[in-house]
Amino acid sequence: MDTQLLLNIMWTFLGATLVYFMQAGFAMVEAGFTRAKNSGNIIMKNMMDFVLGSIFFFLIGFGVMFGNDFNGIIGTSGFLNPTTLADAEGMINVGAWDGYTGLPIGVFLIFHTVFCATAATIVSGAMAERTKFSAYLVYSAAISVFIYPVTGHWIWGGGWLSQLGFHDFAGSTAVHMVGGICAFIGAKILGPRIGKYNADGSANGIPGHNIPIGALGVFILWFGWFGFNCGSTVEATTTIGDIAMTTNLAAAASTLVALIVTWIKYGKPDVSMTLNGSLAGLVAITAGCDAVSNYSALAIGAIAGVVVVFAIDFIDKVVKVDDPVGAVGVHGCCGLLGTILTGVFSPDVSVVTQLIGVGSVLVYVTILAIIIFTLINKTIGLRVNKEEEVDGLDLHEHGAPAYANFNLHRDR
């Protein structure tokens, strides 16, 4: 086997394992930022995002995303058996990356499987503490078939946006904005948690039960993001270090700026918002991590650090969509922002093309998410009843608390 190909295989597979580990990061962030009585439910949803995403992306989603192109819109082959998309030597060459020569189908498939699961799991936090587990399972399967692979084909599967020159290297739009839009629509249709809003419309804070666990999740996500962004080269190249630097600098700048903004805005540096600032910078740089300079990465991160604070507050207090972990602000808003800023800071990327890309994905995902969540709500129902929500989903949905032998008050 060619040495370069072997290195490409090893690097891409390592990236896939790092991105898989991000599922643990999401689980810790969501569990820590919500109440103890729902922790088991959070863990189950994050686990099933990956389980269902793996199965349905293998059976259908991969073919939709990377099958034979139909008018730049959708893939039309490889269903039920993605290995049929490989050549006689078991290699697949999608051609969406400049200079990309191909990988064994299994390596490429597992790499994109973990990306699909990431898009699905973003929604879990925004709909936390009041969603039926059965309804969430249906949604998780649906995004892996009808939403993520379609826009993924447009961007990475040789579809019309890739042909137009749209640049989203590792998924600010393809993964994060898609997940953020679905999170917003799902949380909006679902409605707020009991006690979130007063009669006059003012919002009440509902603190998470374990900020250290949430912080651990952010550290895991930051670590895994090196696989997310650097691994998206899908080959062992000399640009890996450059991508790692832009990724890290954007995250650092966003964290620092979010801390400063909250210090000024609230009088104290807010822990959870600063942690979300880290994620905001990571999300924002993901589109252009391969195309912008280190100083541009600092600028993108700094902008994201400002935007995420005001976006989360705006969604919570003005739009009145209850998002317990800030997923919409972090992934939806900063995914969109970072994709557009790639066009601003990279001389090789058109801002107009970036605007067309995020606009088209925004429209498609919004329409599909409304249809999917409405159908679920009208059939099996999205929301648990009042008693189940007050007591906690761990007891009613799963039959046991996450913290055995602890006396948990019902509002914790």
Average pLDDT of the segment spanning 29-53: 95
Report d(CA 276, CA 155) in Å as an integer: 26
Q: How confident is the model at residue 1 (pLDDT cuts 50, 70, 90)?
A: low
Q: Are strands 103-104 and 91-92 parallel, antiparallel or unpaired?
A: antiparallel
Q: How confident is the model at residue 411 (pLDDT cuts 50, 70, 90)?
A: low
Summarised one tens digit per residue, pLDDT across range 266-283 is 999 999 999 999 999 999
| pLDDT higher than threshold 90 for residue 94 | no
Report d(CA 125, CA 180) in Å as an integer: 10
- Locate 335 and state its tokens: 């995914």
User: Three-state SS string across the chain, please?
Assistant: CCHHHHHHHHHHHHHHHHHHHHHHHHHHHHHHCCCHHHHHHHHHHHHHHHHHHHHHHHHHHHHHHHCCEECCCEECCCCCCHHHHCCCCCEECCCCCCCCCCEEHHHHHHHHHHHHHHHHHHHHHHCCCCECHHHHHHHHHHHHHHHHHHHHHHHHCCCHHHHHCCCCCCCHHHHHHHHHHHHHHHHHHHCCCCCCECCCCCECCCCCCCHHHHHHHHHHHHHHHHHHHHHHHCCCCCCHHHHHHHHHHHHHHHHHHHHHHHHHHHCCCCHHHHHHHHHHHHHHHCCCCCCCCHHHHHHHHHHHHHHHHHHHHHHHHCCCCCCCCCHHHHHHHHHHHHHHHHHHHCCCCCHHHHHHHHHHHHHHHHHHHHHHHHHHHHHCCCECCHHHHHHCHHHHHHCCCCCCCCCCCCCC
Q: What are the distances in angstroms from CA 104 to CA 30, 55, 101, 239?
A: 35, 19, 11, 22
Summarised one tens digit per residue, pLDDT across range 219-254 is 999 999 999 999 999 989 999 999 999 999 999 999
Give percent above pLDDT 70 in the chain: 96
pLDDT at 101: 60
Summarised one tens digit per residue, pLDDT across range 164-207 is 999 999 999 999 999 999 999 999 999 999 999 999 999 999 99
Mention every residue, 6+ apart, whose C-beta is less than 8 A from residue 239: 233, 290
Report d(CA 42, CA 39) in Å as an integer: 5
Do the Cβ atoms of 58 and 79 come closer than 8 Å? Answer: no
Specify the pTM: 0.95
Q: Tell me the torsion sign for CA atoms 218, 297, 348, 16.
A: negative
